[in-house]
Amino acid sequence: MADLNLPSEPAIARLGTGRVVLNSLLIVIGLGLLFAPFLFPDVRSQEVAARICVFIVLAASYDLLIGYTGIVSFAHTTFFGLGSYGVAIALKSVGPNWPAIILGAASGVALSIVLAVMIGLLSLRVKSIFFAMVTLAVGSLTLVVASQLSGITGGEDGMTFQVPHFFSPAFRLAANASGGTLRLLGARMDGKLLLYYFVLASAAILLFLMLRIVASPLGTVLKAIRENDTRAEAIGYRVVVYRTAIFCIAAVIAALAGTLWALWLQYAGPQATLSFSIMIDILLMVVIGGMGTILGSVIGVVLMTLAQFYLQDLMKLATAATRAIPGLPQVFNPDRWLLWLGLVFILLVYFSPAGIVGTLTKRDGGR
C-alpha cells in the first residue's frame, strides 16, 4: 500500500524550469509596462511602452490566424488601418469626445467584419498559398486607396486630430504647490499618463480575451483544422465557417488595436498603420515568440521593439568601446543595426524553431 504521507512535489518543480522562466519573463514584462511611466519618464520610453502594448494585441491577434488555424494572411494590417482611420475620421469630424471615439471604433470594427467575411467566404476555400496572395493583394489595394483618397484620409501625409481633453498633456491629474502639473517620480501627472493607462488596460483586456478564446472548445477546433483540415471536415466541423469566424475575430481585435494606436499617436497615416513593413514586423514577432502560443507574442513584441529602438544605441556604445581595436568599430557601426538584427533572428529561428515560448515549454515536456 502506498505511503499517503509522502511529501508532495513542490509547485515550482511541477511547473518545470522552462515554465518558471517563462512566467518570470511575463511578470517582469507586465510590471515593466505597468510602471513604465514612472521607471522611464522620458518621451521616447513612453512611446516604446505604448507601442509594445498595442503591438502585443496586434501580434497576438495575428497568431490566432497563423499559429492556431494555419491561415497565412498578409492583410492583417488592413484591419489595423481601418481601426486607426475610423477613430481618426470620427474625432476630426465629430470632435474630440467619447462618442466620437466609440463611433470611430465601431465603424472600424464594422468595416473590418464586412471585409473579413468577404475575404473569408471568397478565398478560404483555396489552398494556403493562393489565399496568401489574395490577402497580399487586398493589403496592397488598401494602402493605395488610403494614399489616394486625400480628401478623406489625408493621402500620403495622413491626418492628425485632437483627442479628448482628458487624454491631452494639458489636462492635469494633480497640481503641485505652485499650480503646475505635479510630477511623481519624474512622470507628469497629466492626460498623457491617463491615455497610456487606458491603452495598457485595453490591451490587457483584449489579450485576456484571446487567451480565453484559445483555451475554449473553439481553440481546440482551430488547432484540429490547423493540423488536418480534411479530417476536421470529415468528423463534422465546417472548416470554412470556423476559418471565417476566426478571421473575423482576429480582424475585430486588430481594428481595436489600430484604434488604440491612433489615439496614442493622435495621427493616422498609410505608413503608420497600413505599410507592409508593419506586416513583416508582426510576422517576425509571432515567429520569434512562438506560433500558436499567444503569450509568445508578448515576448516577441518586447524583444523586437526593444531591438528596433535601442539596438543602435548599444552598437554606438560598442563602437566607442572598441575604437582602439582595428576593424571592430566598422563591424559595430550603428548604421548596420538591421544586419545584426537579421543575424539574431536567423540564429533564433535556427536554434529555436518553435520560438522562445515553444522552446521553453517543450523543455518541460509540453507541460
Q: What is the pLDDT of residues 195-208, one digit of tens each?
A: 999 999 999 999 99
Residue 248 main-chain phi, psi, to 5 deg: -70, -40
Residue-level pLDDT at 179 = 59
What is the CB-side half-sphere exposure of residue 296 using CA atoms within 13 A?
28
> Could you tell me what percent of the chain has a pLDDT over 90?
34
Distances (CA, A) of 251 to 2, 73, 169, 218, 276: 54, 11, 31, 17, 17
Residue-level pLDDT at 130 = 80
Of the candidates 50, 22, 76, the one whose C-alpha atom is nearest the C-alpha of residue 283 is 76
d(CA 210, CA 215): 9
- Total residues belonging to the chain: 367
Q: Please indicate whether residue 126 or residue 296 has the higher confidence score (pLDDT).
A: 296
Lowest mean pLDDT among 106-120, 121-135, 220-234, 278-292: 121-135
Residue-level pLDDT at 308 = 85
Residue with cell 518543480: 13
Q: Please indicate whether residue 267 or residue 363 has the higher confidence score (pLDDT).
A: 267
C-alpha cell at position 201: 488596460
Q: What is the pLDDT of residues 282-308, one digit of tens each?
A: 999 999 988 888 898 999 999 999 988
Residue 155 pLDDT greater than 60, yes or no? yes
Residue-level pLDDT at 1 = 42
Q: What is the pLDDT of residues 235-248, one digit of tens each?
A: 888 888 888 889 99
Residue-level pLDDT at 367 = 44
* Mean pLDDT for all residues in the chain: 84
Lowest mean pLDDT among 7-21, 160-174, 235-249, 348-362: 7-21
Please, are residues 142 and 258 in contact by the beta-carbon 8 Å criterion? Answer: no
Any residues with CB less than 8 A from the CB of 303 and at least 6 apart, and which? 288, 289, 356
Q: What is the mean pLDDT of residues 161-189?
A: 74
Please, are residues 268 and 140 in contact by the beta-carbon 8 Å criterion? Answer: no
Please, are residues 302 and 317 in contact by the beta-carbon 8 Å criterion? Answer: no
- Cα dihedral 192, 196, 199, 201 sign: negative
Residue-level pLDDT at 126 = 65
Residue-level pLDDT at 365 = 54
- N-to-C CA span, the chain: 29
Q: Please indicate whether residue 262 or residue 7 has the higher confidence score (pLDDT).
A: 262
Residue 218 pLDDT greater than 50, yes or no? yes
Residue-level pLDDT at 366 = 47
Alpha helices in the chain (DSSP H): 11-15, 17-34, 36-39, 43-66, 76-94, 98-123, 128-148, 150-153, 191-215, 217-227, 229-234, 239-265, 270-273, 276-289, 295-321, 328-331, 337-351, 355-363
pLDDT band at 268 (very low <50, low <70, confident <90, very high): very high
Residue-level pLDDT at 178 = 66
Residue-level pLDDT at 358 = 79
d(CA 85, CA 150): 12
Lowest mean pLDDT among 179-188, 253-262, 313-322, 348-357: 179-188
Please give the angle made by the CA atoms of 346, 350 and 355, to the nearest 5 degrees.
Answer: 90
Residue-level pLDDT at 52 = 95
Residue-level pLDDT at 58 = 96
d(CA 53, CA 198): 10
pLDDT band at 12 (very low <50, low <70, confident <90, very high): very low
Residue-level pLDDT at 61 = 95
Can you say how many angstroms the Cα of residue 71 is from the centroid of all Cα atoms in its chain? 17
Residue 7 pLDDT greater than 60, yes or no? no
Q: Please indicate whether residue 232 or residue 100 has the higher confidence score (pLDDT).
A: 100
- β-sheet bridge partners, residue 190: 172
Of the candidates 61, 66, 56, 101, the one whose C-alpha atom is nearest the C-alpha of residue 254 is 61
- Cα dihedral 31, 32, 33, 35 sign: positive
Q: What is the pLDDT of residues 35-88, one digit of tens each?
A: 988 888 888 888 999 999 999 999 999 999 998 888 888 989 999 999 999 999
Position 250, amino acid: A
3-state class (DSSP) for residue 302? helix
